[in-house]
Amino acid sequence: VAKFGESELLKCSFCGKTQKQVKKLIAGPGVYICDECIDLCNEIIEEELSEPTETSLGDLPRPREIYAFLDDYIVG
């Protein structure tokens, strides 16, 4: 990996685009990420967070079933 200031062009570690092909290239410890990949990551995160989580209450055991199960293990 080239260091900043060397003649070799820096590249995004995710998409491989050079620093001249993107608006911004952000450096991390031994890696680089471009503004386009950051935008894509943000879109993926927003999409995943906006999806409603499905909770099926039909699969939960009834209180009587929970009591019967615990009754096998609890003495007293």
Taking only the tens place, the pLDDT of each residue in 35-50 is 999 999 999 999 988 8
Q: pTM for the whole thing?
A: 0.58
- Give the DSSP letter of residue 11: B
Return the beta strands (E) in 8-72 as ranges.
Answer: 25-27, 32-34
CA dihedral 33, 35, 40, 44 (to 10 degrees): 80
State the residue for tokens 């906006």. 50
Average pLDDT for the chain:
87
48, containing H or E segment? helix 35-50
Category of 30 on φ-ψ map: left (φ > 0), alpha (ψ -120 to 50) or beta: left
